[in-house]
Each structure stands twice: as structure tokens, then as C-alpha cells.
Amino acid sequence: MRIWVDADACPVVIRDILFRAAERTGVELTLVANRWLKVPPARNIRAIQVEPGFDVADNEIVRRVAAGDLVVTADIPLAAEVVAKDAVALNPRGERYTAENIRERLNMRDFMDTLRASGIDTGGQSALGTRDRQAFANQLDQLLAQARPAPRRD
């Protein structure tokens, strides 16, 4: 498993959780953004800077992701493409996008976009809280544990 991060909008606190997990487990972690990002000096952690532009980072992640990889993103259309490639998509609040729930999420996103376009104030998501960070860390730990091969018993 490799971890890909849609880093342009990823909260710093979530990146820090990912850095610690990558350092602890040795899993390959790649942040993709259209700006330069500082990452810890580790062999398995890197950042890719893409050209500025609409969905350029998303397209780079989709191009590189493989089945079984994990993508951290709050971008629902990106998550849908990731799930379609048999990879795992997790948002910074610890919610996992699946083949079962992604269509509903896309429909709700489109509905909210329509409301906003017609001038209706839909508010927005609340700030990322302690429970959100904990939920993300718990989901990440579960996914990393599932990805590790079981110890050999000879």
C-alpha cells in the first residue's frame, strides 16, 4: 500500500498524523500539490509539486494510484475516481468513501453546488475538531494494520 495525499487542501494536523504513521510503519507517503510543501527527511516520504490549475493535482493522483493504495482527500469527485480504481479513499475527518456510498456523496455534492449557484447560503463544514482528528487517526491505523502482511509462523 502507498498513501497519496491531495495536499492542497489537507489540514496540517492531518499531514502531521500521516508523517508520524509513515515514519512508524515505513509505508510510502506522497503528498501531491500545486505548491511546494515541506516534508520530513525520510526515505519513504516525498512531495510532488504539479503545475497550477484546476484538478491538476487530482489528475496526477488518479494517474499514479493503484489498487490497494490509500488516497487522503476531501474531494468527492477525486474519491470517486480512486474508488473506481479499487483503491481506498479516506477524508480528513476519518470518513471512508466506498463503492456503496460514493454515488450518494456525489449526488449530495452536486445538489449543494446547485443550491449555492442559485444564491442559497448552505453554510459549510465545521472546523476540523479533536474528534475528527481522532477518527482519522483510528481509520488510518486500521487501514495500515490491514495492509501489513501477517507475521510468518513456521
Q: What is the CATH number of the domain that holds 82?
A: 3.40.50
Tracing cell 493535482 back to the chain, one arrives at 57
Q: 127 falls in which pLDDT band (50, 70, 90)? A: confident
In a domain, 97, yes or no: yes
In a domain, 120, yes or no: yes
- Enumerate residues 6+ apart whose C-beta is below 8 A from 45: 19, 22, 23, 28, 29, 30, 39
Q: 152 falls in which pLDDT band (50, 70, 90)? A: very low
Q: Rounded to two decimals, what is the model's pTM?
A: 0.84
What is the distance between the alpha carbons of residues 32 and 5, in angstroms, rounded to a whole number? 6
In a domain, 28, yes or no: yes
In a domain, 154, yes or no: no
In a domain, 18, yes or no: yes
- What's the number of domains the chain is made of? 1
Over residues 118-142, mean pLDDT: 84
Q: 110 falls in which pLDDT band (50, 70, 90)? A: low
Query: Looking at residue 104, what is its pLDDT?
Result: 76
Q: What is the pLDDT of residues 31-56, one digit of tens each?
A: 999 999 999 999 999 999 999 998 99
For a pLDDT cut of 90, what percent of the chain falls above it? 70
**Residues spanned by the domain of 46:** 3-147
In a domain, 57, yes or no: yes
In a domain, 10, yes or no: yes
Please say if the pLDDT value at position 62 is more than 60.
yes
In a domain, 152, yes or no: no
